[in-house]
A and B are shown apart, each in its own frame.
Chain A
């Protein structure tokens, strides 16, 4: 069955009308995974039994005339840092190889309740630390548009699953750009909601004050559909916001007319690839023609974002990852006494980037350096937040590039951590400020690699971001292009 260009909205409607059996679709997805995964290496684990059972349940419900959920029969891919009960969840780390969580993440529960068919777990940078998926302890993932190039990261497998037409939807997590950057590099839409919009219960923590779960899709309409399912307060995540969740799909038709769009001059300076710059220029003309008005804004502390981010994120990570000690679950190393066992477990279980970040974070929090590094970074975070607050007083939305460059070649940035960190230069500030950010495809390079633009908005203005992206997509065909596979 050829299904790979069907949208989630389409699939659900066909299932509801009885034109498509969820089980047949599920089998087609499993076939496609079998055909493509050996070359692209997107999945770490495929849940054949679980997905087929979920699909059959949708078919049974339809036959029995029961109400079908908003994602009935829709196949979806999950990043492997989302806990799935009794099903492998590794964070792409050896320390959790073979682990099966005893509970589901809240988003997983919500997807199941909505009738979604969970196909399996996608590759990622180990513990979501990386920008290329090359930090996976198991294998890298290859870009569907050109396998010599990276998929981005850390949610690279999720982005690639959608780009390759395996599942129309996927979930990832974004701490400094980990949804938006791989979305841009794979030519799909990636949405990091406002901090607190989606429950983080069951998302393995990297940096708790920055992490947020969000969707991948080809279209704004599909992303909106998924957003309405996963958003909302959860008593198991005290940082999830008690703010009503709108029907995002019903609110898509706002358009770009009369919208005041801010262009932060700091995001269009040095270091921006000429082809990405040109694609943004073309996109701006489309926005302008659709009635948007541009104003220049300033985010004066932009050049300090990366430094503040790497201190805050690694400090939180060093604390969060202390739990992987070989006592309760996962890998246990050999050691004659408890401390030796901890040290051996973590030495064997963590890869080089995770160790590097634990070291940096531990250093930044250690006695004598706390004020100079961690406290300073938290103060700069305040200044960055104030920049955004001031800029968003002058405009409705902010438009920037998502990533300074298109996808780079595998291996190209692995020797220099700082250069790799610069892949996230336009996205990390959004996490520091806690705002929603969305990447939408905006063109292709002369090499045929996709590029993305980023839309940033005020806290909890998800509907507005999706409206803008939807209106832009109505004027362009970028999101309809598919890689030849």
Chain B
């Protein structure tokens, strides 16, 4: 695995940008199960106020273990982490009061109605009934479940259940919201709708979001910053664009009318990193391809060459992911317990 250059770059940057408040601060967080199974290995990162921070990684990489430590469900073996300045180990209760959690599974009770479920969540925070009733109504309105609030959760669709989980996670007005695979098992439209709710809620409450996801396109579109975790270690952190650019940039494919070798000519163009000739086509690697492509055409025309075909492809997060983890996001093994919970969730989602 290549040493992530961007990581160094970013650490330097962070040291300078330290003006914004760091809501989540993690230093050398480690979790070892049964004395030898290292699930999370000296993970360090920080999340700024108002950011959407995405955690990506294959199953078993340590995403859920990390999130479970941050939400005070698991105790770290070593290392430190704080949320809003509260230590997750020493001031767990203060952390619990200030965070919201939207778990991967559908945890709402099927035999209870929507509103009963939200009120149950409120009771777990000790919020008095007169306050929680008002908040529950507001939240139901926000996630558009008011019409269904007195129906048993059994009758809810996957998207409705997810929205109910969201409402539950917000009942204590958290400043940091943790979302574990918030769109697992939902179809494309429902996923998009769910994200609209999440964005709306974030805007409404000005929260900081920490999420894990399997859907790379989603992470790309929504997250301000992303950390890729594998074998319990963070392999790279950065904005989606930074990560993609780090791969070496975009690929410009072109062909010319004339039968001549233009490799050296193209190489002189600004930002061009690599030129390969393949079957009469030139494959050019460059950062900011959309800016470089016109420059290439321009310099070729000056020499009298005519460009006949040109295409530009941007690297996706998928390629970033493959580069750093060496495997595709889907072909990994899971513990039976996770599989069961996921299957249950997905079955409910499809109802």
A binds B: no
